Each structure stands twice: as C-alpha cells, then as structure tokens.
Amino acid sequence: MPRWRAPQGPSTALVTRAGLERLKAELDDLWLTVEREDTGVEATYRIVGPDEIDAPKGWISIDSPLARAALGKRVDDEFEAALPAGPARFIVVAVRYEG
C-alpha cells in the first residue's frame, strides 16, 4: 500500500550558475528573421537590451514595438506590431542560433 503524501506546493524555478550562463549565451546568439506581409521584405533582428541597440547590425531594443510583438513567436507565426509609421503585420520565417 503506497504511503499518502500531502500535495506539493508550487516550486521555485532554480537554475545553477552554469545553467544560467548557458541560457544567457544562447539568448545572445538568437536571431529572429521576419517578413513584412504587405511588402514581402525580410529583415533579420537580434533583440537586445536598450543600451545595446545597433540598428546597422540589426540589434533592436527589447522595448521596441517590433521586439515586444515578436517575443515568444515561432517560425510561421504571424503577428502585428504598432510601428511609428502605423501598424504592420509580420510572419516569422526563421529563428537561428549562432553559437
């Protein structure tokens, strides 16, 4: 007969320092490619912190409307971003890891 146990409460998500460094390194090398639906133009971006912006390299701020709208999306997902020139629809065409 199995012993009765009280239900477990929610656990805290912990990660080791090595695990955290691995996750940070992976994040630093992720590159989101999107296609604008109305023009068919593709652009590749890396989402970075606000102090790391470098538009010529394709590094956009996490605080930008495009980055916020793209977060959590996968290949073939469609999303809309409120850009300064007005709303635009995008499709994620690739996500790549350079590590």
Tens-digit pLDDT profile for residues 64-77: 999 999 988 999 99
Domain containing 48 equals 30-97
Question: Which of the two residues, 26 and 56, has the higher pLDDT score?
Answer: 56
| Verdict on whether the full-model pTM lies above 0.85 | no
> Ranked by mean pLDDT, which of 2-11, 33-42, 46-55, 57-66 comes out on top?
33-42
Residue 93 lies in a domain: yes
- Cα distances (angstroms) measured from residue 79 to each of 19, 21, 49, 89: 31, 30, 21, 6
Residue 16 lies in a domain: no
- Comparing C-alpha atoms, which of 98, 63, 95, 66 is closest to residue 82? 66
| Polymer length of the chain | 99
Residue 25 lies in a domain: no
Residue 87 lies in a domain: yes
What is the reported pLDDT for 85?
A: 92
What is the reported pLDDT for 99?
A: 58
Residue 21 lies in a domain: no
- Comparing C-alpha atoms, which of 33, 67, 35, 71 is closest to residue 52? 67
Residue 38 lies in a domain: yes
The DSSP bridge pattern shows strands 86-97 and 42-48 to be unpaired
Residue 19 lies in a domain: no
Mean pLDDT within 73-98: 92
What is the reported pLDDT for 80?
A: 97
Per the structure, the count of domains in the chain is 1
CATH of the domain at 40: 3.10.50.30
Q: Residue 91 in contact with residue 74, Cβ under 8 Å?
A: no
Residue 12 lies in a domain: no
